[in-house]
Amino acid sequence: MDINSLIKDYLSHLEVERGRSIKTVENYGHYLRRFLNWSKIDKPSQIDADLIRDFRLYLNRLEEKGKSLKKVTQNYHIIALRNFLKYLAKRDIKSMAADKIELAKQTPREVDFLEGDELSRLLKAPDGDSLRSLRDRSLLELLFSTGLRVSELCKLNRDSFNLEKGEFSVRGKGEKIRVVFISETAKVALKSYLAKRRDIEPALFVRITKGKKTGGKLDAIQPQNNKAKQVRLSEFRLTPRSVQRIIKQYAIKAGITRHVSPHTLRHSFATDLLMSGADIRSVQTMLGHSSITTTQIYTHITDKQLREIHKNFHGKKRN
């Protein structure tokens, strides 16, 4: 079987058996195709240590839009290739052993988060009682309250949770289900927003037309393709890109000069928990990280706290 066919089988395996998202499958396909286009091989048995080393050198020198590939992006290529080799091994197809490939060391990720006055200004930025303002306020509060990924947020429906209960289950990466919790502030914001909605669209966060005083009726929400004669219900739903634009808009309004994204609020959620004394294992569970290693990007926060404790309490009894 040629390697192109095996990669197609592997990508199908990722989607069907492993339950990976369409986006993940697309990314893996991109990384593996880049390897194939560069290597010009047609059989898995042609993959060896020398080929992998040369591929890594190629990635390290590769430029996209005038910029070198980040180490983390280079590693994504290697992770995809390594997992593909594991798949081949399970099918008893001869190739290089995946455990012989090590990932490159990379500098720790910097966590960009908001706290204090910046966070408060952002959450208060959507003022007024229009449907749009109520939607945006509840969207920001829910992101900070739950630490949801933007893709998870956009999939939510109005019947996804019970506001009185204050918690709900979400299906995250790898189809893993976890429980997230809604703060009292987020509950109030969501109740106000949902009370204003007069449509039957199931999506929680929907597109809204500008400048139309419709009292929250159906024509107050707008499909992604408003020129279509027949509109599918899913086209009313906000997309991750739309949420990014909304957050950027309110960050500017709040006077925050640095880049703020949906993931900034996810980082802010985790940071807030850790700075308030939560243990890192609990934070791992609430974020839906499969490995504690991923959650350890936040350890710099606890390190700062330890430094302050050391400064304030160490050696105070010495003369």
Active site residue ranges: 149, 173, 263, 266, 289, 298
Q: Residue 146: is it exposed, middle or buried by C-beta count within 10 angstroms (0-12/13-18/19+)?
A: buried
Half-sphere exposure of 135 (CA within 13 A, CB side): 24
C-alpha distances (whole Å) from 152 to each of 7, 143, 170, 171 are 28, 10, 7, 7
CB environment 256-291: b (16+ within 10 A), e (fewer)? beeebebbbbbbbbbbbbbeeeeebeebbebbbbee
Shortest CA distance to 87 belongs to which of 38, 30, 16? Answer: 16
> Which residue, chain included where needed, has tokens 């396909």?
29
Quote the CA–CA distance of 172 and 239 in Å, as a whole number.
Answer: 16
Residue type, 184: E
Q: Which residues contact 52 (CB under 8 A, 6 or more apart)?
A: 78, 81, 96, 101
Rounded Cα gap, residues 44 and 235, in angstroms: 42
Neighbour-count burial of 154, counting CB atoms closer than 10 A to its CB (0-12 exposed, 13-18 middle, 19+ buried)? buried
CA distance 46 to 57: 18
Cα atoms in the Cβ-side hemisphere of radius 13 Å centred on 312: 6
